[in-house]
């Protein structure tokens, strides 16, 4: 009889441990997904602003090196400039950002966010479609 009670107690403890572990994993995954979402928004901003900087540097008054301009913006946002297809407008810039994760070391596929931005020039002085 005592043995049965002990066995039941052990099962309850095991169930509680499994439940607690599952809840912890769930919380960690939720926090990682949240960080992923925010990093994605930051990467998208970095790519767009780097592309605008490159297009301005390339085609604006007093032209300068577009890759340097894109690099300045990505550095200011703690992002890495992966590629800058900036020889002609429209330019295409790709940047990368790391996701701060509570789960420790994970594969790059889920800890790195990549975004691409495009920018060109509107050459027609009139409204679009005219």
Partner 1 sequence: MTPADDTRGSRDADRAGAGVRSTPSPAPAQAGVVALELALTLPLVALLLVAAFGLVGLVRTSLVAQEAARLGARVAAVDDDDAAVRRAVVDLLGPDARVEVGPRRPRTVVEVRVSVPVDVAGLHRTVAARSAALVEPVVD
Cis amide prior to 4 (ω within 30 degrees): no
- The sheet that has 91-98: what strands, in order across it? 80-85, 91-98, 112-119
Measured from the CB atom, is 95 or 129 closer to partner 1?
Answer: 95
Span interacting with partner 1, options 60-68, 91-99, 104-112, 121-129, rule CB under 8 A = 60-68
Considering only 12, 13, 18, 25, the residue that binds partner 1 (CB under 8 A) is: 12
User: Pattern of binders to partner 1 over 18-57, x per CB under 8 A?
Assistant: -----x---x--xx--x--xx--xx--x--xx--xx--xx
Measured from the CB atom, is 96 or 129 closer to partner 1?
Answer: 96
Radius of gyration in angstroms for the set of CA atoms belonging to the chain, rounded to a whole number: 25
By the rule CB under 8 A, 64 interacts with partner 1: yes
- DSSP letter assigned to residue 103: T
**Angle at CA of residue 105, ends 103 and 111, nearest 5°:** 80
Considering only 1, 2, 3, 62, the residue that binds partner 1 (CB under 8 A) is: 62
How far the first Cα of the chain sits from its last, in Å, is: 91
The CA distance from 81 to 51, in Å, is 11
The CA distance from 79 to 75, in Å, is 6
Number of chain positions touching partner 1 (CB under 8 A): 26
Interface with partner 1 by CB under 8 A: which residues?
12, 23, 27, 30-31, 34, 37-38, 41-42, 45, 48-49, 52-53, 56-57, 60-62, 64, 69, 72-73, 76-77
């Amino acid at each position: 009889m005592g043995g049965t009670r002990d066995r039941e107690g052990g099962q309850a403890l095991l169930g509680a441990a499994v439940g607690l572990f599952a809840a912890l994993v769930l919380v960690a995954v939720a926090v990682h997904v949240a960080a992923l979402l925010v990093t994605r928004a930051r990467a998208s901003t970095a790519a767009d602003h780097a592309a605008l900087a490159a297009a301005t540097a390339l085609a604006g008054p007093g032209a300068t090196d577009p890759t340097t301009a894109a690099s300045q913006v990505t550095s200011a946002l703690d992002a890495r400039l992966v590629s800058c297809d900036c020889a002609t407008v429209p330019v295409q810039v790709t940047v990368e950002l790391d996701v701060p994760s509570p789960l420790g070391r994970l594969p790059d596929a889920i800890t790195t966010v990549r975004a691409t931005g495009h920018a060109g020039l509107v050459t027609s002085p009139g409204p679009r479609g005219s």
